[in-house]
Chains A and B, each alone.
Chain A
Amino acid sequence: MQISDRFEVKKHGGFYKFFNKLMKNAYILIAPAMITCLALTIFPMCFAVYLGFHKWDPISGRKKLVWFDNFRYLFQSEDFIKVIGNTLLFMFFIVFVGLLIKLLIGIFLNKRTPLHNFTQTVIFTPHIVASVSVAIIFMGMMAPKSGLFNTVLSTFGLPTSNWYLGADSAMASVIMVSIWQSTGYGVLLIIAGLRGIPDYIYEAARLDRSKPINTFFKITIPLLSPTLLYLLITTVCSAFTSFDVIKMMTDGGPDNATNLIAYYVYQQGMMFNQYGRAMAAAVILLIFTATLSAINFFALDRKVYYQ
Chain B
Amino acid sequence: MLINLSNIKKVYPGSKDPVIEGLNLAIKEGSFTVLLGPSGCGKTTLLRMIAGLESVTGGSISLEGENITNMEPGDRNLAMVFQNYAIYPHMTVKGNIEFGLKNYQMTKQQREERIKLVMELTGLTGFENRMPNQLSGGQRQRVALARAISKSPKAFLMDEPLSNLDAKLRNQMRSELIQLYNKMGTTFIYVTHDQTEALTMATDIVVMKDGKIMQYDTPENVYSNPANVFVAQFIGDPGMDVFQTTDDQFIGFKPRALTTEPVAEGVSFDANLLTTEYLGYDYQMTFEVPGKGTLVMRNKKKMTSGEAYRLSVPLEDLYYFDRDQNRCEPFPITGLKEVFHADK
Contacts and interface: CB of A to CB of B under 8 A. Distances in A.
Contacts of A305: 89-90
A204 interface: yes
Given A207-B74, A207-B79, A210-B74, A222 B103 contact: no
B90 A200 contact: no
Contacts of A203: 53, 73, 80, 82, 86
A210 B99 CA distance: 8
B82 A208 contact: no
B104 A209 contact: yes
A223 B90 contact: yes
Contacts of B72: 206, 209
A226 B286 CA distance: 55
Contacts of B89: 201, 223, 305, 307
Contacts of B78: 207
Interface string B66-99: 0000001111001110101011111000000001
Interface residues of A, number: 20
A219 interface: yes
A209 B74 contact: yes
Nearest to A221: B90
A218 B72 CA distance: 19
A205 B86 CA distance: 9
Nearest to B144: A204
A125 interface: no
Most chain B C-beta atoms within 10 Å of own C-beta, residue among A207, A211, A222, A223: A207
B306 to A, nearest CB: 51
Given A203-B53, A203-B82, A208 B90 contact: no
A214 interface: yes
A203 to B, nearest CB: 5
Contact of A219 (B51, B53, B88): B88
A209 B88 contact: no
Contacts of A209: 72, 74-75, 100, 103-104
A223 B89 CA distance: 8
Interface in B171-222: none
Most chain A C-beta atoms within 10 Å of own C-beta, residue among B84, B99, B147: B99
Contact of A201 (B75, B79, B86, B103): B86
Contacts of B147: 204, 208
B90 A207 contact: no
Interface of B: 51-53, 72-75, 78-80, 82, 84, 86-90, 99-100, 103-104, 133, 147, 151
20 contacts: A198-B84, A200-B82, A200-B86, A203-B80, A203-B82, A203-B86, A205-B99, A206-B53, A206-B74, A207-B79, A208-B74, A208-B99, A208-B100, A208-B147, A208-B151, A209-B100, A210-B74, A222-B90, A225-B90, A307-B89
Q: Which 8 A-B pairs have the closest CB atoms?
A: A209-B74, A208-B100, A305-B90, A209-B103, A204-B86, A200-B86, A222-B90, A206-B73
